[in-house]
Amino acid sequence: MKRLRKHAWLGWWLLLCVGPLQAAEPADDGALARALLEKALVRYQEQGDKAFAAFSRQGEFVDQDRYVFVVDTHGVMLASGGPSSALIGRDVSRVLGADLRKAFEEALRTPQGSGIQQAEYRWQNWADGKIERKHVYFQRVGERILAVGYYLPRASADQARALLERTADALAKDQAGTLKAINDLQGGFIEDDLYVFVVSLDTRRYLAHGTNLRLLDTDFAKVRDPDGKPVGEPMLALLARQDQGEYRYRWKNPVTGRIEDKHAYLRKVGSLLVAVGYYSP
């Protein structure tokens, strides 16, 4: 446990200093991040600490928004091809916080020599200031830890269901306040590419939308996807028959900016249709 405590803060810093990464396709981006780390590990095995110079300049170890960074087990940033290059040579252990440390301790229990490890967490994206999910690949080599990380632009089905449940509970307790919070776009009803929209089942018009306020008070029944397929009418018809359901369609992902497949979870809350959907590539 003593050894674990010694290096637990290091894991937290690994999570912290992966810079502003944006991924268009998470599967591809993950594979590319891992490949970049594998390439860096080979170079480090060949050159040792001399490889830090290559890791810290714009070149072969920077792949678009993905880059290599290295910290040692004493808390010093040794190399970085991204924004954290400003911290090279500094002891970064004092910037650690307890909120992420516990989640990463499990990964650090794995003994050295176990290959590439990975972790997932939530952190502020330096590019847009939003709190988003991130994924990091890392491997410890002696007293060095080499890592590459990236943001995850797509939330999971479980996250979508959880956000829908939380929204439904909030609307049941305080409808007016919750609708206002959703329309504030920063009221706790946006997570990564997930957002909430609410439609009146009486008027069939939008009452709240987590990303596009121009839709407020427009006719939801007339909404169609980019290919012209009806979206609003089928959802309204579904909740006319039952209290909850699911519907698949195509829609623009607010994070990637692309038209993607979307799976929406629907819930009837009083006279409201409440929906949250997740995207798949």
Domains in the chain, please, with CATH?
Answer: 2-151 (3.30.450.20), 157-280 (3.30.450.20)
Distance CA 192, CA 190 (A): 7
pLDDT of the residue at 248: 95
pLDDT tens digit sequence for 95-123: 654 444 554 455 456 667 778 888 776 66
Q: Which residue has the higher pLDDT, 104 or 74?
A: 74
pLDDT of residue 10: 55
Task: State pLDDT tens for residues 125-164.
Answer: 656 556 667 788 888 888 888 988 887 767 789 989 999 9
pLDDT exceeds 70 at position 63: yes
Per-residue pLDDT, averaged over 247-258, amounts to 86
> Do residues 141 and 115 make contact, with C-beta atoms less than 8 angstroms apart?
no
Give pLDDT, residue 99: 46
Other CB atoms within a 10 A radius of the CB of residue 134 amount to 21
Q: Is the pTM of this model over 0.75?
A: no
CB 192 within 8 A of CB 154: yes
Bridge-based pairing of strands 66-72 and 194-200 is: unpaired
Q: Of 172, 149, 171, 157, which Cα lies nearest the Cα of 26?
A: 149
The C-alpha R_g of the chain, in whole angstroms, comes to 22
**What pLDDT is recorded for position 152?**
75
Beta-ladder partners of 70: 79, 146
- Residue 22: the pLDDT is 42
Q: Determine the average pLDDT of the residues in 203-220.
A: 95
84 pLDDT band, cuts 50/70/90, is confident
How is 74-127 classified by DSSP, letter by letter? TSBEEEESSGGGGGTTSB-GGG--HHHHHHHHHHHTSPTTS--EEEEEEEE-TT
Distance CA 140, CA 114 (A): 9
Please compute the mean of the pLDDT values over residues 74-88 and round it to a whole number. 84
In whole angstroms, give the CA distance from residue 67 to residue 18: 8
Can you tell me whether residue 4 is helix, strand or coil?
helix
Q: Which amino acid is at 195?
A: Y
* Chain centre to alpha carbon of residue 185: 17
Question: Which has more confidence, 72 or 17?
Answer: 72
CB 232 within 8 A of CB 240: no
Tell me: the pLDDT tens digits for 155-188? 789 989 999 999 999 999 999 999 999 999 876 8
Percent share of the chain, pLDDT over 70: 78
Q: Which two tokens stand for residue 173?
A: 């307790």
Q: Higher-confidence residue: 219 or 26?
A: 219
For 79, 155, 175, 203, the CA distances from 172, given in Å and listed in that order, are 51, 25, 6, 19
Residue 27: pLDDT over 50: no
Mean residue pLDDT of the chain comes to 82
